[in-house]
Chains A and B, each alone.
Chain A
Amino acid sequence: EVQLVETGGGLIQLGGSLRLSCATSGFTVSNTYMNWVRQAPGKGLEWVSVIYRDGTIYYADSVKGRFTISRDNSKNTLYLQMNSLRAEDTAVYYCARDGPERWIQNWGQGTLVTVAS
């Protein structure tokens, strides 16, 4: 069974840094495409970043240069390093796994990041 468990969220000051983790089981993180998707309170879904099997990475323009996606194959874990946090980064962050044909098939339960001034 595929499982995705995010941790690392919390309250952080404006301009601060935070690292989110996504522990996975039921599959090998290095053999699939992994994403981060976020959802601001009461708002819709916003794709944030993806890391391919071969290590290719893409980011949304809204986080480019501030966020870094990575993975630890030995721990089967995905990460999102978030720097220079802004109020508009406040959201629930979901770790998400692509299905065989590249849609987002599996989602974690999410972790809330609140950026406060």
Chain B
Amino acid sequence: DIQMTQSPSTLSASVGDRVTITCRASQSISSWLAWYQQKPGKAPKSLIYKASNLESGVPSRISGSGSGTEFTLTISSLQPDDFATYYCQQYNSYPYSFGQGTKLEIK
């Protein structure tokens, strides 16, 4: 099974900051990686698929990159709506697996 490791677990930042979240896979997953945003009490929302493709309607300040085993999610200028928990997920092979999550908090 493929293990996904995110860092950091918690990130404190201010509106306007640039932030980066890292996701590492235990083996190569090519570009079969997605990123999700989840707010308290709500379902996850798809942000990025195939490592760097933005879902329709997702603001362009959010971007993804990487391939193989190392991936990043970057938010170029944090907005109040961005404070949430973010998960990466590999869909290279079953069982699908998620990172443990990164909680983005207001500093």
Shortest C-beta distance, B105 to chain A (Å), equals 16
Contact, CB under 8 Å: B89 / A104: yes
Q: A interface, by DSSP: helix, strand, loop or mixed? A: strand
B interface: dominant SS = loop
Contact A103 B89 (CB under 8 A): yes
Most buried by A among B36, B87, B91: B91
Residues of B within 8 A of A107 (CB): 43-46
Q: Which residues of A contact B101 (CB under 8 A)?
A: 44-45
Query: Does A27 belong to the interface (CB within 8 Å)?
Result: no
Encoded as 1 (CB less than 8 Å from any B CB) or 0, chain A from 49 to 72 comes to 010000000111100000000000
Whether B71 sits at the interface, judged by CB under 8 Å, is no
Asked whether A45 lies within 8 Å of B49 as measured between CB atoms, the reply is: no
**Contact pattern, B 58-98, Cβ under 8 Å of A = 1, otherwise 0:** 00000000000000000000000000000101010011111
